[in-house]
Amino acid sequence: MRKRLIAGNWKMNMLRGEAAELARGVVESTRRLAGKVDIILAPPFTALDAVGKELQGTGIMLGAQNVFWEERGAFTGEISPGMLADSGCSWVIVGHSERRRILGETDEMVRMKLAASLKAGLKVIVCVGETLEERDRGHTVKVVEGQVVKALTGTGISDPGGLVIAYEPVWAIGTGRHATPAEAEFVQSAIREIAGNILGDSAARIRIVYGGSVNEENIRDLLAEPDIDGALVGGASLRAESMASIVETAGEQ
């Protein structure tokens, strides 16, 4: 049985004071569930420290939204896996579609980020997903397969518990339009099979989560699907009550 995982991706929101307050709210409202569900909060870099302090001793884990693949050196503006670990992070998100689309991140960069993060002992949520145009052309599985294969090949995953694949259809992110549970399950079971071709039996232990307009209303039906092990939550993670309600549902089933 794979432990459910709910990660809040705060994106470029929250000043330090606001972030600490939100983290405190999540801690208080999920206290009962912290051992039952893996909960991750991923604030912007500038608030890692403030949020980390609130999470100490709570069982809720700290994550970053991005990382660079080198450990140190002349890479102005970048942050290394070791720096994230040093800032209290145990998780990092790589390959989010906003980074692929707006910042020009390629599959090769995603692979290097994943490999460097795992090497540094971080756990990783790697995001994949198709655009609306790719979906309309019927290319969803092909696109996602390419992203998964390029990200995972040769990265040497020793602990399947430390790798999460987030299926996030680009057309569902921040749009209020989510994939139906059956649509998400179709793609996520394909992802498990693709991961199995690369990683063998350990793919059965990797968690595959859904992301894209997840909220307290749609989470229950999504989690009812066998290959949906949790959620990467954007907008709804910015309010303690909705985050808590999503975690609560994940803890029930």
Active site residue 139: no
Query: 153: buried, middle or exposed (CB in 10 Å: 19+, 13-18, 0-12)?
Result: exposed
Q: Is 211 in the site for ligand PGA (CB under 6 A)?
A: yes
Residue 242 in the binding site for ligand PGA (CB under 6 A): no
Segment contacting ligand PGA (CB under 6 A): 33-41, 142-150, 202-210, 233-241? 233-241
Q: Is 35 in the site for ligand PGA (CB under 6 A)?
A: no
Choose which of 145, 168, 227, 229 interacts with ligand PGA (CB under 6 A): 168
Stretch that binds ligand PGA, among 42-50, 139-147, 209-217, 241-249 (CB under 6 A): 209-217
- Decide: is 212 part of the binding site for ligand PGA (CB under 6 A): yes
22-30, 46-54, 72-80, 226-234 -> range binding ligand PGA (CB under 6 A)? 226-234
- Report CA-CA distances (Å) from 201 to 13, 85, 205, 217, 224: 39, 29, 8, 34, 23
Whether residue 133 lies in the annotated active site: no
Interface with ligand PGA, residue 43, by CB under 6 A: no
CB of 66 to ligand PGA, least distance (A): 12
Smaller CB separation from ligand PGA, 127 or 194: 127
State the nearest-atom distance from the C-beta of 168 to ligand PGA, in Å: 6
Cβ at position 201, least distance to ligand PGA in Å = 29
**Of 105, 168, 216, 225, which is the active-site residue?**
168
Q: Is 213 in the site for ligand PGA (CB under 6 A)?
A: yes
Q: Residue 47 or 231: which CB sits closer to ligand PGA?
A: 231
Task: Give the residue numbers marked as catalytic.
Answer: 96, 168
